[in-house]
Structure formats: structure tokens, C-alpha cells
Chain A
Amino acid sequence: TVLACQAFLFSDAEIFIPVESRLEKQQILADFIVSAGELSPNVRKEFYRDSFFPEVVSRKGYTLSCNPEVEEGDFTLVLRGNEVIAVEEGDTRGECFGLAIDVGTTTLVAALVDLNTGKVVNIASDYNGQIVYGEEVLSRVEFVFSRKDGLNILQRAVVDSVNALIDRLLEGYSSPERIYDVVAAGNTLMTHFFLKRDIDYLFRSSRVRVEKKGFVDEAKKMGLNVNDNALVFALPPVGRYVGGDIVGDVLAAGIADSPYLSLMVDLGTNGEIVLGSEGWAISTSVASGPAFEGYEIKHGSRAVEGAIDHVEINGHGVKYTVIGGKKPRSICGSGLIDLLAELFRNGIVDFQGNLDREHERVRKGESDYEFVVAYASETETGKDIVLTQTDIDTLIKSKAAVCAGIAVLIKKAGISPADVERFYIAGGFGYYIDFENAVTIGLFPELPNAEVKQIGNGSLAGAYLVLTSQKKRNLAETMAKLMTYFDLSTDADFMDEYNAALSLPGKPELFPTIYDRYV
């Protein structure tokens, strides 16, 4: 087999793409749980029968920022506040749409929303076209710094991807000019790329202060295929590492307007963590690494078809379920968590994660010891699926960073894990996690009094809320201003917690019941 990007074709050839790297439709978590109680979108429509446009405008005291198609008769005004952004012939009230977009580093998810009812009409997702210019954010920053028009190219790439999504969303529903308002949420750098904002200031010094206001631009100027006068509002960033997507998570979870002491974790390549309640919030981000997305794990993968997503070990056998119900060919994040938890419960790994070399399913692999999850006969790839000692160490280092980040925030707030009343897990991969297993391996500390809620793609949910509610739109900015970001890279507390978390389940005080039962 050869790497496609390093091979040349000199004649017709038949190419076999290995099963593992076939690009299946990503199971992106598209559903999000949000209630749009108080519907107050930024744009509304008013229908006038047999009226004279200039008379209505002056009577109502509206201002005009478009050249109307029609002067009199039956027409519909599209209003943003008191500003008329479009005048349409006839009664077009039925078609008043908005767009909520989660501008992810790797994946974009967009929702078409009926602004009359707040209902989500359609959802589509696809890769972010910017991947071509760098798998992860820092390499795209390199790209911007290395090319004069780099920022332009990156904006072009993401806008093209969004426009493709818009076409898929509108099929059978409506047309682009009926989309009058766009709200986007993404991490700080993705927001800057999407709205073509200069990023140098973010890298000049370590104590950078980010402008904590929503980014606004004209959809037309950005090249978005929506109504010419539509505006794009991007949720405000909090710091260099905590962006609008996290503000979206916090809005979706409702942390800002609930009296409960809430903890929220958004598990992606970086783990963003927020602790807060009514009127305050503190946040941090940890380099948890992509291990839970399958990277750096021998048979790891994202949550795609054929990935083992749940595991149980009893007696000698390993029971597992596979996404898409077919034969397994890899293990995804939630499967890895279950597996490590079960290995630990059954004493197949000790408190430092070392495999028990006498166990029947543990053997010496090429480089180091490994535990066989599924034998070749059961898999689609015809090879054993294993979890190696290095995989385990990588997973433990990843979970240690997340748990340490949570523990340090709790310590800085001067409270104890038992005080936490709500625990929200956000981010695509987070939705499938078995909470009990996540605590058993020490990804999350024991939170005895916390109600656990999965909020799925909180970034998209936040964008949806801002699109459909003035209150939430203002709350987004106050929330960003309120959130205090703690940089942990040289924080001695963090190192103590990190060092203690480099074991299963981790620091004994954070896992009273798990520690007693299994260590």
C-alpha cells in the first residue's frame, strides 16, 4: 500500500482504498436539546395589503437600508429593529429563516431555523474546507503567517463549505435570499478566520486581552449565499484558548441564568472547562490531546461506522457494540473509556495502568504488551483489534490533564466537588460517554451531588439560542465579559493535580468510592 499523496499514476490503475480510511458519513451529533421559550429573533416580517410603501415607512418611523422592489400594493417588510432590510412583493411572511452555524476546526454543522416559530427546519454537516490548509488550528495559523493572502484563502474555504451546506439545507424549503440572519459559534481562531479578522495580536504576548464582544459583519461582504442585507453575528471569544463555542456551551447549558453551581466540560482536542453560576464563571483549557478522538491510539478512530463504542468485560469474554452494527474495525473515544474502565475494574491493569502480563488476553505485541479486544475472526479488517500499553499510557496522560484542569478550577473557586450541583458534558464525542466509566478511569472526579446532563453540540445550540432570542444574544456578551480565564501552563497547583491524576482512578480524595473499591 502507498500513501496517495506520494504516488504518481502513469497508466490506468485500479485503486483499493482500505476499509479503515474510507470516509464514512461522520456521525455528527446534530440533535441538540434546547427550548426556545421566549422567541425574539433579530429579524421579523410585516405584511401590508394595498399600501403605499413610503407612507408606511414614514408613519412607522422605519429607516430604509435597501432599494425596495415594489412601491405600492401588497408587500412584506423585512425588519431588523426599525431598519427595513428588504421589501418583498406579496405576503412572504411564511418564509422567514435564520441560520445557526457551529464553525468547528474539523467539522461544520449548520441549522436552518424558521424565525416565525423557532423550529429547526433542517440540519446538515460536513468537513470544514480549511482542513486542506492544516489538520489543526496551529498549522492553519502557520499558513496565515506564511502567506500574504493566507487569511483570505482560509475565509474563502470555510465560506464555500457553508454555502454548500446552505444549498443542502434549503432544498425543498426555500431560497437563499429568504435567510435574513446568520449566527456563528466557533473557537477564537475559527471565528477570526470566518470573519477575516487579523490574528497577529493573539500571538504577540502570553497575557493577551481579547475583545470580549460579538463579531459582526455583512453576509454579502463575506460572500455568504444568503439575503444581501443579512448580518452575521459570531459569539464573543473569552480568551485566546476559550472562544465563542464555549460561550455557546454555557448558554446552552443555561449556566449563566441558573442558581445552581455548574461545571461544564467540552471534550475536543483541547478540553475546555467552565465552572460557574448566576453572575460569574471561571474557565480554563487543557492540552488533553486527541487520544479520545482516536488519534495516537493504535486502533483508535473517531465515532464512525465500524467503531467499537461500548465495551464490557466479564469472566473471560469481551462484549462490545459497534457503530452501524457491522463488524468492528476500530475503537472510538467512548469505547476506549469503557475498555480502560473495565480493564481496571477486572484488575487487568493496576493503579498505574500497567497491564497484568499473566492475563490470557494480554500478550507481547511488536513493540510492547497489548490486550486483545477483538480477535481477527470477529473484525472487518481481518486483523486483531488491540489496546497497547502505550495506548493506555497516552489515554491516562490525556484524562489526567482534563481531571487536573477540573480539580484546579474547583480549588481556585475555594469549593469542593460535592458542592457541584450540575455537570454538563458538551462536544460531539462527549455525548456518547458512559459517565460512570469516565469517573472510574478518573476523566471526571466524583461529583456526588451533581445532576449529569449531556448537551451535545453546545456550540450549535448556543448559536441557535442567540439567533432566536434577544435576551440570549445580550447574555452571550455579558457572559464572555464575566468569564475569567486561568492559564495553567506553569501553575504549580495544576502540576500537583496532574501528577496525582496520572494513575487510576487518580488523586484518592477526588475518588473516595472508586479508590476504595478497586485500589
Chain B
Amino acid sequence: ILEKPRFEIPESLAPARFEPYKVEYPGVIEEVTLGATRADGGTRESVVTIGGERSLAFYNFDAQNPHTPVIAIDIFDRRPMLAKAVREHYEDVLDDPAEWARKAVKDFGADLVTLHLISTDPLLEDTPASEAVKVVEEVLQAVKVPLIIGGSGNKEKDPEVLEKAAEVAEGERVMLASATLDMDWERIGNAAKKHGHVILSWTQMDINNQKTLNRYLLKRVGIERDSLVMDPTTAALGYGLDYAFTNMERIRISGLRGDQDLNFPISSGTTNAWGARESWMIDSPIEGDTPWGPRELRGPIWEIITGMTLALAGVDLFMMMHPGAVAVVKDWMGMLSGAVKESIKDVDAWIT
């Protein structure tokens, strides 16, 4: 028998100390509070504060980040086109924004509500701004969480719609979504400043334009540094999520490194995930594909993974839709931020 080759197997493990490499950033991300309680001239019963980070997302081992990201649920001022997996949760409230807001907060734990005034879109009902903002009052009465108000995306009309909405929501410190470079950002910025609201500064996945739009809002409109949130644009998993992730990561790192034009909280329109075919299509149009399985299970996980990936890039505020997705992302963030402690005892069990 061949003598088994002998290897020197040491008696004991070599001594070693793991020295974790520490990273410290000179900059800090601005803290922005949304919503105003009675004491501050509003009628909200809860406010939300985001930002304030000194380290990357969930890197509390470098420096404790003061706030866990929050989630706003989208509601619309007229019946919108929704994927089946989403519509089935809101079937009963699609025509009643106030009820819809209540359901989003009571049943699905929304930290805020995003009210999209899409009926003002000239391609849809083209409702005049003064009329469309009545819904804002209804929703402000219906729920006591902070509110985000969105226009229709129409360049000519949104400034007026958001101006009216800002007046109606005077004192409530809502967030106006949003000012962009190819829209009258000065008018929207002034509306937010005049009525004490927060402005959402939206650019198309371009870090330099984001820096410049922020600087214009801060220097030329005079927006306070605690009243600006950025939306660098969210693309769905499989449809440009990597561009969105890298853009946001570069923005957050620049902010932490001390760039005073980029150290603001970041918002993500995670609902864009529902634009991906894999989230709503019944099955794959490609024959060679392994069957895609039930779409009711594919949609929510698409929104979850899109949101989680961008959370790791530094997003502080998520605009989402599917209640299941909201719950899972909330739970996951709670764990990573140390709020949700309870864990599994025997983690080796799966091996045997």
C-alpha cells in the first residue's frame, strides 16, 4: 500500500487578530423633517425625519446613522393604470383618494403618503389646478402622516399645480415633487419656500446636473438646507437599475466627502419597478425560457429588490405601491439598522 503522504498539520491555530478597517467621512448628510404637528403650525400627528448620515447606508459600525429610511405609498387623484397584483389591494378605494390614503396608512403602515395629481395631465382630464388641489385638503384631513404632492409630469402645467397645492397645504410642510432643470424650477422652488414646504430636486441620472440644480435651488431660490431632498431617478431591476445604483452611490459618497451641493437625503420612485415586463407579464414571450411562474409572486419581489438595492446606495425615502413589498422592505431595513433584533438561534441547522 502506498504510504499515505504525511502533511504537517499544526497542533493549534496560528494566532491572529482581525483589525477591521475603519472609514470616516468629513461630511454629513443634511437632516430633513417632513410634516408639521400642531406645535409647528400643521395638523400632522406624526412627522418624519430623514438623512443625517455620517457613513454609508447601514454602515453603523463606522458611524451611527440617526434615521432609518421611510416608505411613502403612492395614491392617485383619479383611477390609474395598475398591475393586477397591485390593483387587487386597492380595488375598493381607487376612486376615493381619502379612503385610499387611510388604507395605505392604517392597513399597510405607510410612513407618508404620496398624492399624484395626474388628473391635471392635459392628455387626461386636464383638471384645472385650483380644482385638483381640493383633493389635497381631503387627504390632509383623512390621514395624519406627512404628505408628498406630485404633479402630472407636464412641464407647462406642473408649476401652477404645485404652486396651488403649496398654498392649500400651507403650514403642513409637505414635499413638492418635483423641480427639474427643464421646468420652471424657480417658480416651484419659491412656492415651497413661501409656504414652508420641502422641495424634491429631480434630475435624469446625471450627477453633475443634480449638483447644479441643487445649487440653483439653494443659492438662487434660497431653499433652506433642511428643506431639500434629491431624486436622481430610479430605473427598474433589469432596465437600468445598475445606472441608478451607481449614480446614487456616487452622489452619496460625494456628499459624505463634503460636497455641500450633494449632501442631501435621496428619494427613490421604486414604483418604477412595475415597468419591468418580468413584474406584470403572464409568462415569458421567449420560447427557450424556463417558465416564469405566477406573476402575483414576481411583481412584489421585483419592487422589493429594486428598493433594497437602492437602499444600499443610500436612499432615505421610498415611494412604493405593493403592500407586501412595503412590509418586506420595512422589515429588512429594520434588521439592518438594528431596530428589529429577534433572530434565529441555531444557524447551522440548514447544513444537516
Contacts and interface: CB of A to CB of B under 8 A. Distances in A.
Interface of A: 351-352, 499-500, 503, 507-508, 519
Contacts of B216: 519
A519 B208 contact: no
B298 interface: no
A507 B208 contact: yes
Nearest to B211: A508
A503 B215 contact: no
A438 B215 CA distance: 23
B215 A519 contact: yes
16 contacts: A351-B212, A352-B181, A499-B206, A500-B206, A500-B208, A503-B208, A503-B209, A503-B212, A507-B208, A508-B208, A508-B211, A508-B212, A508-B261, A519-B212, A519-B215, A519-B216
B293 to A, nearest CB: 36
Contacts of A503: 208-209, 212
Interface in B179-206: 181, 206
A180 B182 CA distance: 65
Interface of B: 181, 206, 208-209, 211-212, 215-216, 261
Contacts of A499: 206
A54 to B, nearest CB: 77
Contacts of B261: 508
Contacts of B181: 352
Nearest to A506: B208
A503 B209 CA distance: 9
B289 to A, nearest CB: 30
A351 B212 CA distance: 8
B7 to A, nearest CB: 43
A499 B211 CA distance: 14
A507 B216 CA distance: 16
A296 B220 CA distance: 34
Contacts of B211: 508
Contacts of A352: 181
B206 to A, nearest CB: 7
A500 B212 CA distance: 11
Nearest to B215: A519
Nearest to B206: A499
A466 B247 CA distance: 50
A352 B206 CA distance: 14
A507 B250 CA distance: 14
Task: Give the residue among A352, A499, A507, A508 with the most B Cβ atoms within 10 A.
Answer: A508
A500 B216 CA distance: 17
Task: Give the residue among B208, B209, B212, B216 with the most A Cβ atoms within 10 A.
Answer: B208
A492 B175 CA distance: 36
A519 B208 CA distance: 12
A504 to B, nearest CB: 10
Nearest to B208: A500
A507 B207 CA distance: 9
A245 to B, nearest CB: 34
In the A-B complex, the 3 residue pairs with the closest CB atoms: A500-B208, A351-B212, A507-B208
A519 B215 CA distance: 7
A249 B282 CA distance: 64
A503 B212 CA distance: 10
Contacts of B215: 519
Contacts of B209: 503
A507 B209 CA distance: 9
A500 B250 CA distance: 15
A507 B208 CA distance: 6
A478 B7 CA distance: 56
B260 to A, nearest CB: 10
Contacts of A351: 212
B184 to A, nearest CB: 13
Nearest to A499: B206
Given A503-B208, A503-B212, 14 more contacts: A351-B212, A352-B181, A499-B206, A500-B206, A500-B208, A503-B209, A507-B208, A508-B208, A508-B211, A508-B212, A508-B261, A519-B212, A519-B215, A519-B216
Contacts of B212: 351, 503, 508, 519
B180 to A, nearest CB: 13
Nearest to B262: A508
